[in-house]
Structure 1
Amino acid sequence: MKQTSELDEKSTLVKAPVLRVEDFDVESYHDGVVVLDFAKNVLALNQTAADLLPGDWSGPFPVQLGAVFPEMSEEYEWLSRLVHEKSCHGNQIVNLSRAGKMRTLLVDSSFLRGQAGEQVGMCLFLKDIGNIVSLEQKIQHNEILATVGKIAAGVAHEIRNPLTSIKGFLQIMRHELDKQGMQKEYSYTDVMLREIDRVNELVGELLLLSKPRELRMERIEMEELIMAMAPLISSEAILNNIEFHLSLKSVPQVYADPEMLKQIFLNLVKNGIESMNETPGGKLIISTDYMPQERMVRVDVQDRGPGIPHYLVDRIFDAFFTTKETGTGLGLPICQRLVNDLGGRIKVRTKGFGTTFSVYLPALSE
């Protein structure tokens, strides 16, 4: 590696096994660089590495590892092990958390040598590959979703055809039972028709997951769209004894399919209300904001439910995954699919109390 050979040349400046901070010019490297001796001292570290690694690196060098990382932390254990074992690695993948955000780093390490060729320290090169990993995961998720969608489409068509016949004959039977005054048997048909409608609704969701509907794009005022939906959402909230609030800012227009947007927001609202069914003091908030740096309009659907366990957050957009007894596991994957079709993205933030789904959509020029 070019970087390694350049640093090896610099190591000839070291006159003795004791390394000096001034021997290293690490700011010239694009990747993160960390220089360590075998006494667990960090001798030099550039700004890129300081941005990638947790801990406070503002103090003077050298600095002991234990002064930056708690001795029981993963970071301390990782770096201590490298120094103690004097082991170098190429293309090592390390996951570290900084400011609550998990970073995936590609690490190359090499020895620093003195004049006599002896090992006097180690140098680590760090590269943030989080975006690459995230892209690979997204591609893999989309491929799985596309496969599930194709299977679902075939199954849905096979289910819908016999359902139509069953529903038709059931309605005829229902009429005859009513004429003959067989009210008990007539009441059974109510249950059967409701269940058929439920299956039809599921079939419709499967078809929607399998392929996008034809988009009817137009300029949309987000405030007008949400206000038009507000009475429906409010009535549903009242039925479930939940407070409903709007916090709408003035934001730029978006170019999208209004019916598709309504379906996205209603799905998220339904999801939020269902999560608060067993939580007293439920509250649902829809808010809007504008992200000028990203040129994106953000719509938040926030609930005060119990939140999503951290170990399940990565699975909530998987088709057919659900924690609800009567859920289909299709609502959130459909929302994600529709948002992607509109050129946006959807994110989730959750904690011990409450969950927020944020829909980001490209803003039109102001």
Structure 2
Amino acid sequence: MRLTSEMDDQNVQMRTPLFRVEDLDVESYHDGVVMLDFEMKVLAANKTSVEFLPGDWSGEFPIGLSDVFPQMSEEYEWLSRLVREKSCFRNHVVNLSREGRMRTLLADSSFLRDKDGEQAGICLFLKDIGNIVSLEKKIQHNEILATVGKIAAGVAHEIRNPLTSIKGFLQIMRHELEKKGMQKEFNYTDVMLSEIDRVNELVGELLLLSKPRELRMERIEMEELIMTMAPIISSEAILNNIEFHLSLKSVPHVYADPEMLKQVFLNLVKNAIESMAEVQGGKLVLSTEYLPQERMVRIDVQDTGPGVPHYLTDRIFDAFFTTKETGTGLGLPICQRLVNDLGGRIKVKSKGFGTTFSVFLPTMSA
């Protein structure tokens, strides 16, 4: 049977003669190509498409669609429906999961035609656009942070100046109330001062997002840095009935701002402890590892808390998004901003029980 591939683009037909099935040159395409007939057989598929569509490709073409994919699988359902409905489309976005990784593909399809011009099958073209989607999300995220930063920079001083005055007069009132033995009113001022400090802290966090901090970069030995924080973390863990462990491997030095790194790690530890406080105890582990291929040092903050639902993992770095009743939703965006300023990146992994935040930092090794 002689086949041609027709791409229907603005009613223009393009036919390329394709002779025998075994002569179909699908490997010449950089993107994924799968050719199917209307009898649910795969006529040809290149290596790229096999990477996109996991299945049993050990048979020789043509091969039955059900021999490649289990009939209840997502891939079989999609491809069989494509053939049954004889679907021709352009720029169709498809999300397929493989080995726990969600892949975003841009799919085009066209008819395969025989020598008489009759429809004989479907030719499917697949392009991985995951990096583009990820880049768009990152740009949107940075734009949001930039907007938040501009607002913060504009109002921070306007907020802090009256707060300073209010705090000063409250402290004078406290002194007078204490002298007159008005203990009940004196206690009210404690609450008011606490809330003023909370607002000041929020303004400070907003300012961290508004502009990059001046970096004081230096050569850092990661084990030494973590050990300086260990007593603080350990005491906080004990207060919350949490086991604290270190698993530190020998890793190359990094070039970073030590105070900035401390802020990142203490913030991640605080989040971990707060999440485990909900289940009354747990285990907190700080570990380090060197990734020679990437020339990165990875620092993991791992907890045994309730975990982050998979549908929220893409949102936890959004400014003002929080699942806590008293949270501001700025802690993780600030961590991400600080790590990015140091030339690193931060990732989260959670599988329904426990969460691991991984900070990746470039090493000083050549």
Is the 8 Å Cα contact of residues 54 and 99 (structure 1) preserved in structure 2?
Answer: no
Is the 8 Å Cα contact of residues 284 and 302 (structure 2) preserved in structure 1?
Answer: yes
Aligned to 1:314: 314
Is the 8 Å Cα contact of residues 6 and 113 (structure 2) preserved in structure 1?
Answer: no
User: Do structure 1's residue 139 and structure 2's residue 139 form an aligned pair?
Assistant: yes
Aligned to 1:62: 62
Aligned to 1:205: 205
Amino acid across the alignment from 2:360: Y
What secondary structure sits across from 2:277 in the alignment?
Answer: coil
Amino acid across the alignment from 2:235: S
What secondary structure sits across from 1:124 in the alignment?
Answer: strand
Aligned equivalents of 1:106, 1:8: Cα separation in 2: 22
Cα deviation digits, residues 18-60 of structure 1 (max 9, x gap): xx4x132322322111111111111211111111113232333
User: Structure 2 vs 1, CA of residues 364 and 106 (structure 1 numbering), >3 Å: closer, same or farther?
Assistant: same
Aligned to 2:10: none
Aligned equivalents of 1:55, 1:149: Cα separation in 2: 48
What secondary structure sits across from 1:126 in the alignment?
Answer: strand
How far does residue 312 in structure 1 lie from its aligned partner after superposition?
Answer: 1.2
Aligned equivalents of 2:151, 2:75: Cα separation in 1: 45
How far does residue 134 in structure 1 lie from its aligned partner after superposition?
Answer: 0.5
Q: TM-score, normalised by structure 2?
A: 0.93
Aligned equivalents of 1:62, 1:354: Cα separation in 2: 46
How far does residue 160 in structure 1 lie from its aligned partner after superposition?
Answer: 1.0
User: Do structure 1's residue 237 and structure 2's residue 244 form an aligned pair?
Assistant: no
Aligned to 2:16: 9
Aligned to 2:188: 188
Aligned equivalents of 1:352, 1:95: Cα separation in 2: 22
How far does residue 10 in structure 1 lie from its aligned partner after superposition?
Answer: 4.0
Aligned to 1:227: 227
Amino acid across the alignment from 1:9: T
Aligned to 2:11: none
Aligned to 2:120: 120
Aligned length: 356
Aligned equivalents of 2:337, 2:120: Cα separation in 1: 54
Is the 8 Å Cα contact of residues 343 and 361 (structure 1) preserved in structure 2?
Answer: yes
Amino acid across the alignment from 1:253: H
Aligned equivalents of 2:59, 2:267: Cα separation in 1: 50
Amino acid across the alignment from 1:68: V
Aligned equivalents of 1:4, 1:266: Cα separation in 2: 59
Amino acid across the alignment from 1:39: E
Amino acid across the alignment from 1:362: P
Amino acid across the alignment from 1:88: C
Aligned to 1:93: 93
Is the 8 Å Cα contact of residues 10 and 24 (structure 1) preserved in structure 2?
Answer: no
Amino acid across the alignment from 2:16: E
What secondary structure sits across from 2:16 in the alignment?
Answer: helix
Structure-to-structure mapping, 1:1-366, within 5 angstroms: 8-11=15-18, 13-14=19-20, 20=21, 22-365=22-365
How far does residue 127 in structure 1 lie from its aligned partner after superposition?
Answer: 1.3
Aligned equivalents of 1:152, 1:74: Cα separation in 2: 46
Aligned equivalents of 2:39, 2:151: Cα separation in 1: 59
Cα deviation digits, residues 88-132 of structure 1 (max 9, x gap): 222222111111111111222222222222222222121111111
Cα deviation digits, residues 198-240 of structure 1 (max 9, x gap): 1111111111122221111111111110010000000110111
CA RMSD of aligned residues (A): 1.8
Amino acid across the alignment from 1:306: P
Aligned equivalents of 2:71, 2:203: Cα separation in 1: 55
How far does residue 71 in structure 1 lie from its aligned partner after superposition?
Answer: 3.0
Aligned equivalents of 1:280, 1:56: Cα separation in 2: 47
How far does residue 8 in structure 1 lie from its aligned partner after superposition?
Answer: 4.5
Is the 8 Å Cα contact of residues 27 and 46 (structure 2) preserved in structure 1?
Answer: yes
How far does residue 331 in structure 1 lie from its aligned partner after superposition?
Answer: 0.5
Cα deviation digits, residues 273-302 of structure 1 (max 9, x gap): 000112144110010111111111110000
Is the 8 Å Cα contact of residues 95 and 104 (structure 1) preserved in structure 2?
Answer: yes
Aligned equivalents of 2:223, 2:285: Cα separation in 1: 14
How far does residue 69 in structure 1 lie from its aligned partner after superposition?
Answer: 2.7
Unaligned 5+ runs, structure 1? 15-19
What secondary structure sits across from 1:286 in the alignment?
Answer: strand
Aligned to 1:17: none
How far does residue 336 in structure 1 lie from its aligned partner after superposition?
Answer: 0.8
Aligned equivalents of 1:200, 1:281: Cα separation in 2: 31
Aligned equivalents of 1:81, 1:351: Cα separation in 2: 32
Task: Extract structure 1 runs of 4+ deviating beyond 4 A.
Answer: none
How far does residue 192 in structure 1 lie from its aligned partner after superposition?
Answer: 1.8
Cα deviation digits, residues 139-169 of structure 1 (max 9, x gap): 1111111112211332332221111001111
Aligned equivalents of 2:274, 2:140: Cα separation in 1: 29
Unaligned 5+ runs, structure 2? 8-13
Aligned equivalents of 2:52, 2:169: Cα separation in 1: 66
What secondary structure sits across from 1:184 in the alignment?
Answer: helix
Aligned equivalents of 1:364, 1:279: Cα separation in 2: 40
Q: TM-score, normalised by structure 1?
A: 0.93
What secondary structure sits across from 1:360 in the alignment?
Answer: strand
Aligned equivalents of 1:169, 1:238: Cα separation in 2: 38
Aligned equivalents of 2:310, 2:231: Cα separation in 1: 33
